[in-house]
Amino acid sequence: MAQAHAAHGGDKYYIPHGSKWPIIGSISLFITMLGVSAWLNGFTGPVVFYVGLALVAFMFFGWFGTVIGESQHGLYNAGVDRSFRMGMMWFIISEVMFFAAFFGVLFYARNLSVPWLGGEGSVINPKFNAPDGPICTALAESGALIAASADYKHSYPHSWRSKAKVIFRCTPQWFVPMDKATTDGTLRDKAMTAISDTRFIPEKGRNRLSSMVEGRPDWVLSRQRAWGVPITLFVKKGTNQYLNDAAVNARIIAGIREHGVDGWSDERAQEYLGSDYALADYERVTDILDVWFDSGCTHAFVLESGKWPDLMRPEGYTGPRADLYLEGSDQHRGWFQSSLLESCGRAAMRRIRLSSPTASRWTRRA
Q: pLDDT tens digits, residue range 128-152? A: 778 888 888 888 888 888 888 877 7
Q: pLDDT tens digits, residue range 186-218? A: 888 888 888 888 888 888 888 888 888 888 888
Specify the DSSP class assigned to residue 132: T
Q: Between helices 335-343 and 187-196, what is the axis angle to 10°?
A: 110
Phi and psi for 352 in degrees, rounded to 5? -120, 130
Residues above pLDDT 90, as percent of the chain: 10
Among candidates 190, 200, 197, which has minimal Cα distance to 324? 200
Bond from prior residue into 202 cis (ω within 30 degrees of 0): yes
Taking only Cα atoms into account, the Rg of the chain, rounded to an integer number of angstroms, comes to 38
Q: Report the distance separating Cα 134 and Cα 139, nearest Å.
A: 9
Among candidates 307, 291, 165, 187, which has minimal Cα distance to 230? 291
What pLDDT does 189 receive? 86
Q: Report the distance separating Cα 347 and Cα 295, nearest Å.
A: 16
The helix (H) or strand (E) run that includes residue 175 is strand 175-176
Kindly tell me if the per-residue pLDDT of 304 is higher than 60.
yes
Kindly tell me if the per-residue pLDDT of 112 is higher than 60.
no
Single pTM value for the model? 0.50
Q: What is the mean pLDDT of the chain?
A: 77
What pLDDT does 253 receive? 93
Kindly tell me if the per-residue pLDDT of 249 is higher than 90.
yes
> H/E/C letters for each residue in 326-338?
EECHHHHCCHHHH
Q: Report the distance separating Cα 232 and Cα 256, nearest Å.
A: 9
Share in percent of the chain as helix, strand, coil (round to 5): 50, 10, 40
